[in-house]
Every structure is written in structure tokens, then in C-alpha cells.
Structure 1
Amino acid sequence: MAEDFSFMTISEMSALVRDKSVSPVEIVENVLRSVDRLEPQINAFVTVTDDLALDAARKAESAVMAGEPLGVLAGIPMTVKDLITVGGVRCTFGSNTLSDNVATADAPAVERIKAAGACIIGKTTTTEFGCKPSSTSPVSGTTRNPWNTERTTGGSSSGGAAGVCAGIVPAALGTDGGGSIRIPSAFCGLFGIKAQFGRVPVFPPSATPTLAHIGPLTRTVRDGAIVLGTIAGFDGRDPASVSEPVPDFLAACDAPLDGVRIAWSPTLGYARPNPEIVDVATKAIGVLEELGCEVTLVDKVLDDPIKIWMAEFYAGVGTRLKETMANERDILDPAVAEVLSHALDQTIDEYYGQVFERYALREKMREFFEDFDLLISPTLPVEAFNADADIPDELSDMNIVSWMAYPYWVNLIGAPAASVPCGFTNAGLPVGLQMVSRTNREVDLFRVAAAFEVVHPWAGKKPPVQ
């Protein structure tokens, strides 16, 4: 019987490839069989790129046999969200308006994982233009959570999370303009990180260029460090690209925790979390205290900046889709069309009023982080809810974004943020802990998350669908 590579880490797979215990082709063929078997249950893919993956696997195999230097991801299967371009492959952005769109070139992050030897298995599902933190799309239908297929994965990096969670691949590339990596990571029990704004170049330009990030979703913190270290670094095509040297994220996973100053805020001052979520997260905070972190409870951190975020995010997407809204609104997701309509109706004075509020928020949080290394909260206020819904029942008075409460504010200030698995609800659904660091200090996220993972491991826990 062929070896099962499901739930192996990048390092474990890489070791097998490098010592010639297994061929990258065998790994990819195994993964493609897993896609065939699991896709009817979770609906993670928009496009499966068999030929692209097998071609990369054969190149990796040839390099191994020839004794050539290997990239850090040589022979490793990965997926790419369908908001990120892969040259020659369909890129729908989750919309029927672009159902036949084929990308002409790779995004920088895709160039880099390819150069490192990754085998791209396919393009994964997203909500339409990444506009909803749920998991339904006009193009692909509903993506389902491997922990319970009646529940959502969250979004908008829905399919990437489902594929990693189910053990199909060890890592996925997602995007995050307001939590779209961290939300599905929390609901699916994964580590997901968006780095400092500009650390990973975004090109072609996003419709939300001051909010957009590309980052990894993985089952382990170290796998996240490997992928982020691969895709980070300056690229002149992105005017916001950071030119500083990329930190050693993997080394940070072994750094000591003594003296790390943590602000713990169960609600940030405005969120309405389920008590069970707070209970699970509070127990995780106790673990961090035992590991040597200095924890301070902070009840009120900020006022809900949802109006600021919605003004920026949906104005950008709405402007990009103005012609579509005028001529093809009937084929857009109705929930997406509604929020875009409101964004396009705002006046220039209203928009810039929110821009200035954003500047004030940045300064407020800069001052806050003078006293703390990390701000930790739950990632989300609820457990994964109905797969076909956009809003959880217990927060039905909120809109398609405001219900999630915790993630979107971080994109407004550009700071690094990660969702770290911290436990399960009584229903057996994962709970995530959101960690936000000071500007440019992803290393603090990695050292705290990795230390927590050592004493509170989660990667060995496998969902029913696998």
C-alpha cells in the first residue's frame, strides 16, 4: 500500500524527499487522489491543476536524483487561493463575472513558492472578491468545514483552510484584507498569519491596496514560518513592499519567552463573544503565564472601527466593480452587491472622515504597544456556524462583517497578526486565539505561538473528514 502523506508537516515531507525515501511524484499523486476522495465532502477547489503539480514534482524528483541544490519547498504540495494569480490558470475571484478569466502571470508569492520547489495542486475557493468572511461563492457554492461539514470554514480563504484542515496539503496561500486568513484558520483549527503590511508583496494590485496581505495557512507554527519566510521580501512592483531584510521566522520559534508583555482582552471593549469561547481562550492565556509571559487584563482597548474598515475595503472593491455593479449586478452575490452599493453611495467627505479616523486609530495603537509586545484576544466570537449562512444566529443583528468583531481592526494599522489554535468547544469545534504584535515584530508572534504549540499541541488532532 502506498504511504499516506496526509497530515505530514513540510519538514517531515521534505526529509523524505531529500533522503530519497519517497519521490515528489508519489507525494503529488497521493495528494491528487485525496482531492478526488475528499472534494465531494468539503468543496475546497475551484480548479485542480494536476499537470502543473506533476510537472513541478518531476522537476523536484530530477533535482533530487541529480544531487542538485533543493529549494525549501521542493516537492511540497500547496494550494493557492483564487484571488492570487497563477500564470496560465483560471482565476475567478469567486465571481461569475470572471468565471473564464485566465491569469497571464504569477503573483510574486506564487513565483517564490514555485522557485522554492512547491507543487501547486490547485486554486482554492473564496467568497466573491473576498468580500465575505463566510464560505459561500456564486462560482463554487459552499465550502464545508472538515470538523463538521454542516458548518462553515469561514472566509474568505475558505478552500485553502479546508484543504489544509482535511490533510490534503500541509500549507495554503491565502489573502487577508480584514481577517480572511485568520478567520478560517480559527474555525478550522489552523495556524494562519498575516505579516506586517508590505512584508509580502501584493501584485497585481489589490482592489484594497492599503489593507491587502498574502500569507500562509498551515497546521503547525513552524510550517507557517517556513512558508512566510519563502514569500516575504521586497518586490518593486508593490509600492508598499518592505525593503528591510526578512527576519528569520523559523529561528524565532525557538526564542525564549521570558519578559514577553501580553495584553489580554476578551472583548477589546466592543465584541460580544460566546462565554464558551472566552473560557477556552482564558485557559490558553493561563498556559502563556505558566510559560513566563507577563499578562495584563485590558478590558477596553479601542472602539469598534467597523465603519472605518468598511469605508476603505468596500469603497475599493466597489470602485473596481463599478461597471459590474451597473451592468451585471444580478449575477453578483446579493450580500456582496448590497455592501458595495452602500460603499459607492458614500460622499468624498464621508470617506475621508473615515480615513482620518484610521490615522487616529494607528496612533492610538502605536501608543498602546509602547507598553506591550502582544495584544491577544479570541480570533472570533463564536464557533463555526451554519455552512450556508453569512452571519451566525446569535449575532443576527449585525452585518456580514461586523459579527466577527476581532480581526478587521488589525488591517487598519498594518500590524502582524496570527490566529493560533487554542482548544475546542463542547461541540468539538476549534477555537482560535488572535495574537497581534507591534509593527514589524512577526518574530514575537512566532516565538509565543511556537512555545504555546509545544505544550498545547493541536496538529495531531484530526477532523472527521480526512
Structure 2
Amino acid sequence: MPDARWLSATELASEYRSGELSPEAVATELLDTIGAVDRGINAFCLVDPDATMADARASAARHAAGKPIGPLDGVPVSIKDLLLTKGWPTLRGSLMIEPGDMDWDVDAPAVARLREGGAVLLGKVTTPEFGWKGVTDSPRTGVTRNPWDTSRTSGGSSGGGAAALAAGLGPLSVGTDGGGSIRIPAAFCGVVGFKATLGRVPMYPPSPFAPVAHVGPMARTVADCALLLDTISGYDPRDWSALATPTGRAVDAVAEASDLSGVRVGYSADLAFGTNDAGVHANTERAVAVLEGLGAAVEKVDLGWDDPVWAYHVLWYAGAAAVLSAFGPEAAERVDPDLLAAIERHHDISAAEYLDAVALRMELGTTMGRLHEDVDILVTPSMPAVAFEAGATVPPGSASPEWTSWTPYTYPFNLTGQPAVTVPSGFDNGLPTGVQFVGARHRDLVVLRAAAAYERAVGGFATMGRRP
């Protein structure tokens, strides 16, 4: 049997159709690998072998009958522990939520779509408390580490999912992204993470960070991200922002993508307010050169932005304060101390300030809408540096306690609600770097097609010749 640990979702689906592999054998191998490998990484916070194997047996029976119910039938997927998953508690990295607090009898929309498509739910993966920051550690689950170097952070807040992918603990993961929470850990762990246009992947219950919060796919290849996106996208009446079910398939957009002739690329190395390590800059420059070699017309662009972080903080920490207040005054004794300190720094938000932040968000969206009349894709680094020490919220020596101080290229595109993907761009000092492609709202497939063409040209995770 091939080493299923490193097969893509697309490859697994093909093996199932041919009868070379069974969902039961794959699930067994992955559960065994999680048991052996995850102790040093801490990507999973819940593993339920009985439930996983029940999913796998049901899928195997469908495949044996020649009646799979979807392209992900039998493919293992992990779920971030912010998303409701029927039968499993969703503890959100917090000591203030206990397994017995609810019946846990509702699936989030993305999880429901996975079940409907026959996916095998592999378990739940870690998050910082309530997904509040760009690294993954929490009072409940401790520190999640980077498989490339376990002394380093996996990033966050979907750090459990990214670490699981990089360690070969499943081919797919569903994450959330409220300020980079898919793209940050994907870049740090050398995998692919996609934040679709706001509303393309529905969310329920509503996030307290709803103005900027997305659900999205994570994988080791762009094709797998597209496959997962197609499964979890689509209208759900429980999400007020949900878009109509897409008519075009992402898997078709990325299939055989290689020629970018006619694609207009705008390149900004720093958005005018970031500062990059030399290795990150060099890898991003090489990525842009690859796009030119594929036929894209590249020009450097100046968005004319000042750092919009103040507006992001207003929206983000207003939501964080609302989350914490629901647990009463005793929450201060049990919550992540860094979250409590951040809320204290941003506690005095007025209605006028909130409206000003919303106004800037709309202004930024207008700026980007106009930019995309001239360019199809904006390219930036995903992160300005590689992963730093695990257990810290900011890099050592940072002048700021804010996690946004080291993520300048992610949160702006949560403010605008645009599709953005990170794909591996190489290594710096032995750790992965990423390049980010951003597109106009509703042009998700344009972004994925460019990412797939780039990946095909340079080789992604599976062909870089290196694994953790």
C-alpha cells in the first residue's frame, strides 16, 4: 500500500475509485500516525477513532457499491475547534467552556457539507482561545508547534490545521480566517491556505468577529484547496452574509492551469508599511519572476494606503470584548492573560470610533475595487518573516505586544473581504516562506488559477523535495 500519509485528497480519491486503497485503511494509517507523531506537535485537540472509523466504513461500503456521494467521499478532513461538529464538543481553546455545557448536536455549515459529501472527519485541531491571535497556544490545549522545527510556532489561529497538514496528519483541514488565521499558519508551515470572498463559505453560528471572519480550506496543494472549497461553499440561510451557491467549480479553474498570458499582476513588496526579512523578500521576488515567465504582465503598484491596523483593532477587539463579557467577571481569572491584556488596551471603543473603522473599511474596499480594474492579481509576501519561537505572541524583541504588528499583509484583506491565498515560496534558514495572491471580490477562481499555475511551475509542498 502506498504511504497514504502524504497522498493528496485528489490522489486518495483516485485510489479509492481504482480500488487500490480503501477509506478504512487510510483512516487507520492516519490515526496511527497521529498517535505516534502528534505528541511533539500538538495539532489535534480531539481524536475519536470510533467515529472516524465509522465514517470510513460507511464510505468504503459506498465505494464498494460504486456509489460514492461526492469527490471527497472517504477523504479525511480535520476541523478547527471553533466550528461546531455534531457529536464532538467545540471548546474553542478555552477553559471557560466544558464538554457538558451543550448537547453539541449541530454542525457548522462547512462541517454539514463535508458529511453530506461523505468525508471522513479525522478530529478537531487546535486554536488559540476563541481564535484571537496569530499563533496557536491556549489555556486548554497548550502550545502547538511547527513540524519543520518544533521550537517554532505553527502560526495561528488555524495553527493546528496547518501543523497537521505539514506533518502528514491528513490531507485537508477546515480553518477560519479573521485577520490571517488561515494564511499565517499556512505560510509558516509551508502549505496552502485560502480565504475566499466573504460569504462564499457560510458560517454559523455568527462569529463575534463577523465583519472580518471567514471559513476556508487548507491543504498541501492548490488543487486540494479547490476541491475542499467546492465542497464547503454554497448558500446557507443561517448566515446573513452567505452568497449564492457558486455556478463555477474551483477544481475546473485550477485543472492544468499553467499559462498566465493576459493576467495582469500588481506587485507590492510591503504595502508601503511592512518590513521584510531578506530571505522573504528574495523568495517573493523569485515568485514574481516565475509569474512573468508564465506570461503574466507584472507591474509594481502603490496602493496609497496608510496602515489600517487601527480600524482592524477597533472591529476585532470590540468582538473579543463581547466574547469575554458573555462569561461574566470571573472570566478574567481563566482567560488567556494576553487576550485579557489586549482587550484592556482596546477597551475604550466608542460608537463613533466603530463607525469610523467601518468607514475606512469601505474606503479600502473601494480602493481595491478600483485597483482591480487594472490588475487581476495583487501579489505580496504572505508573512514578512519566518516562524518565531513557539509560545510567544510576538517575536522576541518586538516593540509592540500586538500580534498584528508582525502580520501586515493579512488583516488588510479581511477588512476588504477579498479572496486571498498563500502558497509556498521557498525556505529561509530552513523554514518555509509564502507568497500571497489577492483578487477582486467574487474573483476567487482567478486567484486560485494563478496560484495553481505558480505551484505547477515551481513545485509545491509535495515536490519541494523536503518534508518535516
TM-score class normalised by the smaller sequence: over 0.9
Other-structure match for 2:47: 48
User: Residue 128 of structure 1 aligns to which amino acid in structure 2?
Assistant: E
SS of structure 1 residue aligned to 2:242: coil
CA shift, 1:464, in A, is 5.5
Q: Is the 8 A contact 1:10 1:223 kept in 2?
A: yes
1:85 aligns with: 84
2:221 alignment partner in structure 1? 220
Q: Out of 278, 296, 301, which is 1:298 matched to?
A: 301
Does 93-102 or 380-389 show the bigger shift? 93-102
SS at match of 1:97: coil
CA distance in structure 2 between the aligned counterparts of 1:440 and 1:38, rounded to whole angstroms? 39
In structure 2, distance between residues paired with 1:352 and 1:260: 36
Cα offset, 1:453, TM superposition: 0.9
State the alpha-carbon separation in 1 of the partners of residues 368 and 401 from structure 2. Answer: 25
- Pairing 1:254-403 to 2, within 5 Å after superposition: 254-255=256-257, 256-324=259-327, 326-393=329-396, 395-397=398-400, 399-403=402-406
Letter of the aligned partner of 1:439 in structure 2? R
Deviates more, 1:254-263 or 1:221-230: 254-263
Aligned length: 463
Q: Deviations over 1:36-89 (max 9, x none)?
A: 011111000111121221111010111112222431111111100000110110
- Which one-letter code corresponds to 2:427 in the other structure? F
CA distance in 2, matches of 1:356, 1:70: 45
Once structures 1 and 2 are overlaid, which stretch shifts more, 188-197 or 320-329? 320-329
Residue 199 (structure 1) shift: 0.3
Residue 198 (structure 1) aligns with: 199
The alignment's TM-score, normalised by the length of structure 2, stands at 0.96
Q: What amino acid is aligned across from residue 146 of structure 1 in structure 2?
A: P
Tell me the SS of whatever aligns to 2:366: helix
Q: Any residues of structure 2 matched to 1:407-426 within 5 Å, and which?
A: 407-425=410-428
- Is 1:233–2:208 an aligned residue pair? no
Letter in 1 for 2:26: I
Compute the displacement of 1:386 (Å). 0.2
Partner Cα separation in structure 2 for residue 179 and residue 372 of structure 1? 22
For the pair 1:112 / 2:121, whether they are aligned, the reply is no
Query: Which secondary structure does the structure 2 equivalent of 1:431 belong to?
Result: strand
Following TM superposition, by how much is the alpha carbon of 1:288 offset from its aligned partner in structure 2, in angstroms? Answer: 0.5
Relative to 1, partners in 2 of residues 1:394 and 1:379: Cα closer, same or farther, differing over 3 Å? farther
Offset of residue 463 of structure 1:
5.8
Q: Does the 8 Å contact 2:233/2:246 carry over to 1? A: no
Check 1:462–1:335 CA distance in 2 against 1; reply closer, same or farther (3 A cut).
farther
Q: Does 1:124 align with 2:145?
A: no
Q: Does 1:441 align with 2:443?
A: yes
- In the TM superposition, residue 352 of structure 1 has moved relative to its aligned partner by 1.6
- Stretches (4+) displaced over 3 A: 394-398, 461-465
Residue in 2 that maps onto 1:250: 251
Quick check: 1:329–1:337 contact (8 Å CA) kept in 2? yes
Structure 2 residue 60 is matched with structure 1 residue 98: no
Task: Sort the Cα spacing of 1:54 and 1:301 in 2 relative to 1 into closer, same or farther, 3 A.
Answer: farther
State the alpha-carbon separation in 1 of the partners of residues 249 and 397 from structure 2.
42
Q: 1:453 aligned to 449, 455, 458, which one?
A: 455
Between the aligned partners of 1:79 and 1:246, the Cα distance in structure 2 is 26
What is the CA distance between 1:151 and its match in structure 2? Answer: 0.6
What is the distance in 1 between the residues matched to 2:180 and 2:68?
Answer: 36
* Structure 1 residue 139: Cα displacement: 0.9
Residue 339 and residue 443 in structure 1: after superposition, are their counterparts in 2 closer, same or farther (change >3 A)? same
Change (3 A) 1:388 1:462: farther
Per the alignment, residue 74 of structure 1 pairs with: 73
Match of residue 8 from structure 1: 7
Alignment root-mean-square deviation, CA: 1.5
Deviations 1:113-141 (A, max 9, x none): 11111111111000110101012111111
Q: Which residue number corresponds to residue 163 of structure 1?
A: 164
Contact 1:49/1:120 (<8 A) preserved: no
Structure 1 residue 3, shift from structure 2 partner: 4.2
Aligned residues of 1:113 and 1:231 also touching (Cα < 8 A): yes
Partner Cα distance (1:34, 1:284) in 2 = 34
Q: Report the Cα offset of residue 446 of structure 1.
A: 1.3
- SS of residue paired to 2:5: coil
1:367 Cα deviation after fit: 1.5
CA distance in 2, matches of 1:317, 1:197: 20
| Partner secondary structure for residue 173 of structure 2 | strand
Instruction: For residue 364 of structure 1, report the CA deviation from its aligned partner.
Output: 1.7
Structure 2 equivalent of residue 133 of structure 1: 134
How far the C-alpha of 1:317 sits from its partner, in A, is 2.4
1:148, CA displacement in angstroms? 0.5
Unaligned runs of 5+ in 2: none
Partner of 1:208: 209
Alignment partners' CA distance in 2, 1:233 and 1:329: 38
C-alpha spacing 1:361/1:392, structure 2 compared with 1 (3 Å): same
Instruction: Give distance in 1, aligned partners of 2:97 and 2:346.
Output: 22
Quote the sequence identity (%): 38
Equivalents in 2 of 1:325, 1:437: separation in Å?
Answer: 41
Q: Extract unaligned runs of 5+ from structure 1.
A: none
Residue 150 of structure 2 aligns to a residue whose secondary structure is strand
Shift in Å, 1:299? 4.4
Q: Deviation string for 1:204-244 (max 9, x for gaps)?
A: 11111121111111000100000001100111110100015
Partner SS for 2:4: coil
Of the structure 1 ranges 258-267 and 238-247, higher mean CA displacement relative to structure 2 is found in: 238-247
Shift of 1:319: 1.3
- SS state at 1:121 partner: strand
Q: Classify the secondary structure of the residue corresponding to 2:199.
A: coil
CA contact (8 A) 2:59 2:68 kept: no
Alpha-carbon distance between aligned partners in 2 of 1:27 and 1:308, rounded to the nearest angstrom? 46
SS in 2 for 1:324: coil
Partner Cα distance (2:248, 2:323) in 1: 34
Q: Equivalent residue of 2:438, what SS?
A: strand
**What is the CA-CA distance between 1:398 and the residue it aligns to?**
5.3
Give the secondary structure class of the aligned counterpart of 1:98. coil
